[in-house]
Amino acid sequence: MPDIVRLLPDVVANQIAAGEVVQRPASLVKELLENALDAEATEISLVVKDAGKQLVQVIDNGKGMSATDARMSLERHATSKIQSADDLFNLRTMGFRGEALASIVAVAQVELRTRLHEEEVGTCIIAESSEVKKQEPVACPPGTSVTVKNLFYNVPARRNFLKSNAREMMHINEEFYRVALARPDIGFSFYQNDMQVHHCPPGKLSQRIVHLFGAQYKEQMAACKEETMHLNLKGYIGKPESAKKSRGEQYLFVNNRFIRSNYLNHAVTTAYEGLLPEGYFPFYVLFLSIDPKEIDVNVHPTKTEIKFTDEKLVYGMVRASVKQSLGLHQITPALDFHSDINFHIPKHSPQGSGGMRQTLQDRDYGQMRGVRPQQEGWSRLYEETRDKDTSQDREMPPDVVTIPSAANHRQDLMEMPEVTDQQWPVQLHKKYILMQVRSGMMLLDQQAAHERILFEQFQRALEKRKGPTQQSLFPETIQLNPGDFSMVMEMKEELEALGFDMEVMGKTDLVINGVPADIAANYDRTVFEGLLEQFKHNQNTLTIGKRENLARSLAKKTTLKAGSTLEKKEMTALVDRLFACNNPNYTPGGKPVFSILDFNKIESILK
Ligand code: ADP
Ligand code: MG
């Protein structure tokens, strides 16, 4: 019987080996960009045609190669970056296996042009199917240009396996983003089918993010920074309202390498707990620097996965610092305020002459607050507020108006609606409130606004342990199952602080004699049961304390019903109360309450 074991021809062996490195056009982008970085380039251009299926080219101004090195660089395991295998994460270069170019040449047509800075002429090599076809001196700028054409031209099965252009382009963009984000100090240009799609000059990380993702990120990012002995974290996170329904824009770099870590991703996302609607993912670009000793080097470093010696420590730190950053920035409205720190004076204001501007503390807003409605209809809601306004423990004198608490520090960023004429505010579809503001118009979700107001009101009641009660004319009896009953008993004190007046009857029945005054007008027997349901739901899905949960659940269950018609003074009062909140921007669940359409936005919509 003849021997059947044979060595594979080199070409085939190389093609198979290439499979690990080159899976799709995006792999070319990754490898070539990383080589350019390793060559210490400061300007890098990426050119892609037909989603990389026809052409991927990377041009750099890095150190270039001699003729011999250029020839060698296409051989398998040829690398100038030899390092010992056990400290791979100590590597300062991206590549280290000397496999990329050889793999690429096995499955595509490659033209390499390279020149050392100190040389007059460069080298041009043309190669395909692992074979050098031509090598000659050439006039070219210092640095290196690698052009890869017709990927998998010689492996039809794999070429057919490529996905649609849109899909391949997505992978390419992703690789480009990772490199461009990791190195904001380097200039990048990206051309697609002869059109420049990105031009990123060298700069700061924040500028890089804006260049890549768009100007709106200026308003949507919050800085994140934490330094400890063995561990540093820095970067940017997206404010909750910039969260998207896809996981896309999440970047974590460990020692400047892009890493995919479900564990740390979890640390980031749980820091947003309660600020994001379900199914939304926050934006982040975070850089973790850690002593390489703290990383498990058994994990293959070319894979975008990693293990930490002390995972919990890293997790805790990431979560805490994202949380802190959210806390610091949450109160900043994500609005385009930087150019306009003062408030417009209403036309009819007595001080309004000469176009003079006043600040928030001025009478202007005080007057606006003066238009608080008389009690009527559902605006009983404001009963407690008005009472408080006239009471002794009022936080501010009638004419000096400050936005309370944390928002104070950022008052320069706040913009209040103008009460310029009788037309405003306007209710849209019994759902939204439209108001004129200095930079354009403000669109406000009435239900969300009300939920925020109630939530903070309930929180105050829980803190002070004395929410006002309105006694019911007809006390209602609620029959509870034993589980719910004991839960209610556990938070009896808090419920009373909110303003519930309850009495136990029999084994598990509850008589409700009075309810929180703020919600008395909207109270019906579904509220209490709804409150318990919501409380339980939150308990299972969030990690918030009992009090916050109660305040949230009650606010959610007693907020304005959808489709409530509001009168002008009710709307004004609602807006007024909203901006007296500590955090008017979001509902307790993280939904944005209002948005400002400034003139730029309006113009761009109408273009
Ligand atoms: P690795 O990056 O793992 O070393 P590659 O196959 O990607 O392996 O590259 C092989 C060698 O070719 C590199 O070690 C480097 O010396 C050289 N090289 C590749 N690309 C460039 C470039 N753009 N500029 C200068 N040298 C390069
Ligand atoms: Mg490489």
User: pLDDT tens, 347-361?
Assistant: 233 333 333 332 222
- Closest ligand relative to 81 C-alpha: 1
Q: What is the pLDDT of residue 34?
A: 93
For the CA atoms of the chain, what is the radius of gyration?
Answer: 32
Rounded distance from Cα 64 to ligand 1 centre (Å) = 9
Which residue lies with its CA nearest to atom 13 of ligand 1? 79
Q: Which of 122-126, 182-186, 210-214 has the lowest mean pLDDT?
A: 210-214
Provide the percentage of residues in the chain whose pLDDT is more than 70.
76
Counting from 1 in the atom list of ligand 1, the atom nearest the Cα of 93 is: 2
In 3D, which of 59, 17, 62 has the Cα closest to residue 37?
62
Q: What is the pLDDT of residue 78?
A: 63
Rounded distance from Cα 32 to ligand 2 centre (Å) = 7
- Which residue did the predictor score with more confidence, 131 or 334? 131
Supply φ then ψ for residue 576, to 5 degrees.
Answer: -60, -50
Rounded distance from Cα 163 to ligand 1 centre (Å) = 28
Count CB atoms within 10 A of the CB of residue 184.
21
Mutate which of 101, 115, 116, 130 for ligand 1? The one with the most ligand atoms within 8 Å of its CB, which is 101
Q: What is the pLDDT of residue 360?
A: 29
Rounded distance from Cα 73 to ligand 1 centre (Å) = 6
- Which residue did the predictor score with more confidence, 479 or 284? 284
Look at residue 375 and tell me whether its pLDDT is greater than 60. Answer: no
DSSP state of 496: H
Look at residue 157 and tell me whether its pLDDT is greater than 90. Answer: no
Rounded distance from Cα 16 to ligand 2 centre (Å) = 18
- Which residue did the predictor score with more confidence, 581 or 166? 166
Burial class (CB in 10 A: 0-12, 13-18, 19+), 146: buried
Q: Give the confidence band of 379 by pLDDT, cuts at 50, 70, 90.
A: very low
Counting from 1 in the atom list of ligand 1, the atom nearest the Cα of 80 is: 14
DSSP 351-372: T-GGG--B-TTSHHHHHHHHTP
Task: Provide the token pair at 229.
Answer: 């002995």
Rounded distance from Cα 76 to ligand 1 centre (Å) = 11
Q: What is the pLDDT of residue 116?
A: 97
- Which residue did the predictor score with more confidence, 412 or 450? 450
Burial class (CB in 10 A: 0-12, 13-18, 19+), 144: buried
Mutate which of 21, 27, 28, 38 for ligand 1? The one with the most ligand atoms within 8 Å of its CB, which is 38
Q: Give the confidence band of 108 by pLDDT, cuts at 50, 70, 90.
A: very high
- Closest ligand relative to 37 C-alpha: 1
Q: What is the pLDDT of residue 136?
A: 97
Which residue lies with its CA nearest to atom 2 of ligand 1? 95
Q: What is the pLDDT of residue 331?
A: 38
Q: What is the pLDDT of residue 121?
A: 97
Report the C-alpha gap between 364 and 359 in whole angstroms: 8
pTM over 0.75: no
Report the C-alpha gap between 469 and 459 in whole angstroms: 15
Counting from 1 in the atom list of ligand 1, the atom nearest the Cα of 79 is: 14
Report the C-alpha gap between 148 and 234 in whole angstroms: 36
Q: What is the pLDDT of residue 404?
A: 31
**Angle of CA points 311, 315, 319, to nearest 5°:** 175
- Which residue did the predictor score with more confidence, 50 or 326? 50
Q: What is the pLDDT of residue 96?
A: 57
In 3D, which of 246, 195, 251, 192 has the Cα closest to residue 221?
251
565 within 8 A of 427, measured Cβ to Cβ: yes
- Closest ligand relative to 58 C-alpha: 1
Q: Give the confidence band of 562 by pLDDT, cuts at 50, 70, 90.
A: confident
Report the C-alpha gap between 493 and 6 in whole angstroms: 82
For 551, half-sphere exposure in the C-beta direction (CA atoms, 13 angstrom radius) is: 23
Count CB atoms within 10 A of the CB of residue 112.
24
Where does 114-204 have alpha helices with state H?
156-161, 165-182
Rounded distance from Cα 72 to ligand 1 centre (Å) = 10
- Which residue did the predictor score with more confidence, 233 or 375? 233
- Closest ligand relative to 78 C-alpha: 1
189-208 b/e with 16+ CB inside 10 Å = b?
A: bbbbeeeeebebeeeebbeb
Contacts of 268 (CB under 8 A, 6+ apart): 237, 250, 252, 282, 284, 286, 318, 319, 322
496 within 8 A of 458, measured Cβ to Cβ: no
Provide the percentage of residues in the chain whose pLDDT is more than 90.
36
For the packed helices 482-490 and 525-541, what is the interaxial angle rounded to 10 degrees? Answer: 80
Report the C-alpha gap between 136 and 150 in whole angstroms: 22
- Closest ligand relative to 102 C-alpha: 1
Rounded distance from Cα 27 to ligand 1 centre (Å) = 15
**Rounded mean pLDDT of the chain?**
78
Look at residue 421 and tell me whether its pLDDT is greater than 70. Answer: no
In 3D, which of 182, 174, 169, 175 has the Cα closest to residue 285?
182
Counting from 1 in the atom list of ligand 1, the atom nearest the Cα of 103 is: 6
Counting from 1 in the atom list of ligand 1, the atom nearest the Cα of 146 is: 23
Which residue lies with its CA nearest to atom 21 of ligand 1? 35
Mutate which of 69, 74, 79, 118 for ligand 1? The one with the most ligand atoms within 8 Å of its CB, which is 79
For residue 191, list its beta bridge partners: 47, 196
Look at residue 292 and tell me whether its pLDDT is greater than 70. Answer: yes
Look at residue 515 and tell me whether its pLDDT is greater than 50. Answer: yes
- Closest ligand relative to 79 C-alpha: 1
237 within 8 A of 286, measured Cβ to Cβ: yes
Look at residue 274 and tell me whether its pLDDT is greater than 50. Answer: yes
Rounded distance from Cα 37 to ligand 1 centre (Å) = 10
241 within 8 A of 334, measured Cβ to Cβ: yes
Which residue lies with its CA nearest to atom 9 of ligand 1? 98
Look at residue 394 and tell me whether its pLDDT is greater than 80. Answer: no
Strands (E), 393-439: 426-428, 432-437
* Protein residues whose CB sits closer than 6 Å to any atom of ligand 1: 31, 35-36, 38-39, 60, 62-65, 73, 78-81, 95-102, 144
Q: Which of 72-86, 163-177, 263-277 has the lowest mean pLDDT?
A: 72-86
For the packed helices 446-464 and 568-578, what is the interaxial angle rounded to 10 degrees? Answer: 50
Three-class secondary structure of residue 125 per DSSP: strand
Q: Give the confidence band of 151 by pLDDT, cuts at 50, 70, 90.
A: very high
- Closest ligand relative to 96 C-alpha: 1
Q: What is the pLDDT of residue 277?
A: 79
DSSP 493-510: HHHHHHT-EEEEETTTEE
For residue 58, list its beta bridge partners: 46, 146
Highest-pLDDT range among 196-205, 320-329, 383-392, 463-472:
196-205
Average pLDDT on 514-536 reads 85
Average pLDDT on 584-601 reads 85
Which residue matches tokens 């982008």? 29
331 within 8 A of 406, measured Cβ to Cβ: yes
For residue 428, list its beta bridge partners: 432
In 3D, which of 139, 80, 141, 149 has the Cα closest to residue 111?
149
Q: What is the pLDDT of residue 6?
A: 62
Rounded distance from Cα 73 to ligand 2 centre (Å) = 9
496 within 8 A of 512, measured Cβ to Cβ: no
Q: What is the pLDDT of residue 280?
A: 86
53 within 8 A of 27, measured Cβ to Cβ: no
Q: Give the confidence band of 90 by pLDDT, cuts at 50, 70, 90.
A: low
Q: Which of 286-300, 459-473, 580-594 has the lowest mean pLDDT?
A: 286-300
Q: Give the confidence band of 411 by pLDDT, cuts at 50, 70, 90.
A: very low
62 within 8 A of 45, measured Cβ to Cβ: no
Which residue matches tokens 């000059």? 201
Rounded distance from Cα 501 to ligand 2 centre (Å) = 72
Length of the chain: 607
Rounded distance from Cα 80 to ligand 1 centre (Å) = 7
Average pLDDT on 436-447 reads 86
257 within 8 A of 295, measured Cβ to Cβ: no
Q: Give the confidence band of 312 by pLDDT, cuts at 50, 70, 90.
A: confident
Q: Give the confidence band of 382 by pLDDT, cuts at 50, 70, 90.
A: very low
Which residue lies with its CA nearest to atom 1 of ligand 1? 98
Average pLDDT on 558-580 reads 86
Give the Å distances, CA to CA, from 76 to 80, 98, 154, 481.
12, 6, 19, 72
Look at residue 3 and tell me whether its pLDDT is greater than 80. Answer: no
Report the C-alpha gap between 486 and 504 in whole angstroms: 11
Contacts of 162 (CB under 8 A, 6+ apart): 24, 25, 53, 151, 152, 168
436 within 8 A of 444, measured Cβ to Cβ: no
Mutate which of 22, 30, 35 for ligand 1? The one with the most ligand atoms within 8 Å of its CB, which is 35
Q: Give the confidence band of 372 by pLDDT, cuts at 50, 70, 90.
A: very low
Look at residue 389 and tell me whether its pLDDT is greater than 90. Answer: no
Average pLDDT on 262-286 reads 88
Three-class secondary structure of residue 438 per DSSP: coil
Rounded distance from Cα 150 to ligand 1 centre (Å) = 21
Report the C-alpha gap between 507 and 566 in whole angstroms: 43
Q: What is the pLDDT of residue 2?
A: 63
Look at residue 95 and tell me whether its pLDDT is greater than 80. Answer: no
